[in-house]
Amino acid sequence: MEEKLDGKNRRIYILVLALLFVSVAVFLVSFYIDSRKVLDVKELNMSLTVGNIPGFDVSKDRLGFGELAIGNSASRNDVYITNPYDFPIEVDFLAEGNITNLIIYTKKLELSPGDKRSFSASTVVISNETPGYYGGKLIITFKRA
């Protein structure tokens, strides 16, 4: 009879250890997910007109490339990203809209606390682009690094 109790106690002990292990694993995974949480998301409008008359867009509230003739290019590097937090952050950029295939841009920045860096984007209008307006948004996601 004593052996059965020892075997039963051993199974309970193993079960308790397994539950403890699973609980610690769930806690660590949830802690990691929380540490990578999104801090902020911003949107920046983008625009480009493909046409015959070159024109500039110096707007500070959007990422505008103005009007470009076929074969011309433009770039913007006057958009600055600042890390106001006391920990490192990762900034991800994602373009949406029909302008997406016309621009080349920084996809990711890593910033230390207090850092300020410029974001760069450029465009080249190749010969097979249809004249007209191209627009979209740049989604900027701030996350813990």
**What's the whole-number mean pLDDT along residues 85-110?**
93
Lowest mean pLDDT among 53-57, 78-82, 108-112, 139-143: 53-57
- pTM value is 0.70
User: Does residue 8 register a pLDDT over 80?
Assistant: no
Q: What percentage of the chain carries pLDDT values higher than 70?
A: 86
pLDDT of residue 45: 94
Q: How far apart are CA 38 and CA 90, in angstroms?
A: 10
Order across the sheet with 132-144: list the strands.
Answer: 63-68, 38-50, 132-144, 89-97, 108-111
Q: Token match 């920990």: residue? A: 87
The band of 5, judged by pLDDT with boundaries at 50, 70 and 90, is low
Q: How far apart are CA 140 and CA 86, in angstroms?
A: 19
C-alpha separations of 92 from 47, 86, 106, 108, 116 in Å: 20, 19, 9, 5, 15
Share the mean pLDDT of the chain.
Answer: 85
What's CA 24's distance to the chain center, in Å? Answer: 30
pLDDT of residue 1: 45
pLDDT of residue 34: 58
Question: With contact defined as beta carbons under 8 Å apart, do 117 and 60 qualify?
Answer: no
Lowest mean pLDDT among 23-32, 68-77, 84-93, 124-133: 23-32
pLDDT of residue 84: 93
